[in-house]
Amino acid sequence: MLNRRALITGGEGTLAQALARALEASGRFSEILAPGRGELDVENGESIRTYFAGLDRLDLLINNAGTTLDLPFLKSSESDWDRVIDTNLRGAFLCSREAIRLMFRQREGHIVQVGSFSALNPPPGQSNYAAAKAGLIGLTHSLAEEVGKRKVRVNCVLPGFLADTGMTRDLPPSVIESAKAAHVLGAFNTPEAAANFVTFLDSEMTAVSGQVFQLDSRLHRW
């Protein structure tokens, strides 16, 4: 288990920090990288290529970087659309491509895409975000088919609403209660619980690839 390296994009976020702590606690990695945008800008292909050029090995990539920009569809500009797609989908494509080149040389590796329930049941005003996150699910399925023979796994997790984060902290109480009511358990997930699931997926579910895991109690018929 020595000399194993994990990389979490969007390293400044609450979920990224929870992921880093969970991976460190697992004792399976000698190095856990969680760069912020200043080190790894997923909207910038050159930044991605430069960052990955400094890596000689990568065992786990978690494409966690993301952004939202909710707008009515007819008020969304091309630049608005591009920003959300570039961060959530194009960045995951570019990082995955660089990671797979390393993982092919190793003959092993794991990529986890951090998706969203909005890919399955988006609210109004999230056409850009929903399209990007739905694209991540398609990317997961296609990549898993393509790279499985080289012992590289690709999975996707949908963390859902995360308690005590920027995602939920500033929402009005009425919105919080309405959102919780959509969960059969009446509660949100936590960053720590989501991070623990990803750690378990990486360490124990080694025969699993090409899957999408919804990490809350909302019901959705696929």
Active site residues: 129
**Rounded-to-integer distance, Cα 196 and Cα 215, Å:** 11
Task: Report how far Cα 115 is from the mean position of its chain's Cα atoms.
Answer: 5
The answer to whether 26 and 4 have CB atoms below 8 angstroms apart is: no
Could you tell me whether strands 60-63 and 31-33 are parallel, antiparallel, or unpaired per DSSP bridges? unpaired
DSSP states along 38-86: TT--TT-HHHHHHHHHT-S--SEEEE---------GGG--HHHHHHHHI
The residues pairing with 111 across neighbouring beta strands, listed in sequence order, are: 61, 154
